[in-house]
């Protein structure tokens, strides 16, 4: 994982997803969701955030084998190397309160 950590800049950008290391240097600016999400995951294991929005086989289909650097030794990944999953969206409490108020008025 130390080698992946060394590639955490726009000029040399590697991430880990589902046990494989990908070189996304050429792809980062073409990412449909914007470059920022990939730049924030540079040099880290982005499996959680990747799988939250993509099917796990997408890299092979989209990027092809040329972007695969190799397999990661999972025992070398530390907690600080993992990009946390995205937060779950909060439920809108305002709507619930309004519905409750309407029900009271209708009684």
Which are the contacts of 81, defined by CB distance < 8 A and separation ≥ 6? 1, 4, 5, 16, 44, 45
Residue 19 confidence (pLDDT): 92
Could you tell me the pLDDT band of residue 82, with boundaries at 50, 70 and 90? very high
Q: Looking at residues 60-85, what average pLDDT do you find?
A: 90
What integer best gives the mean pLDDT of the chain? 84
CATH superfamily of 2-85: Cytochrome b5-like heme/steroid binding domain (3.10.120.10)
Q: Looking at residues 85-107, what average pLDDT do you find?
A: 60
Residue 32 · residue 58 · CB < 8 Å: no
Q: What are the residue boundaries of the structural domains of the chain, listed by start?
A: 2-85
pTM for the predicted model, two decimal places? 0.76
């Amino acid at each position: 994982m130390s080698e992946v950590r060394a590639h955490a800049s726009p000029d040399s950008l590697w991430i880990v997803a589902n046990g494989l290391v990908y070189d996304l240097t050429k792809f980062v600016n073409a990412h449909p969701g914007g470059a920022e999400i990939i730049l924030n995951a540079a040099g880290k294991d982005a499996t959680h955030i990747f799988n939250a929005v993509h099917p796990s086989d997408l890299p092979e289909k989209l990027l092809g084998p040329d972007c695969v650097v190799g397999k990661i030794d999972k025992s070398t990944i530390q907690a600080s190397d993992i990009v946390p999953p995205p937060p779950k969206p909060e439920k809108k409490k305002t709507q619930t309160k309004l519905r409750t108020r309407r029900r009271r008025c209708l009684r």
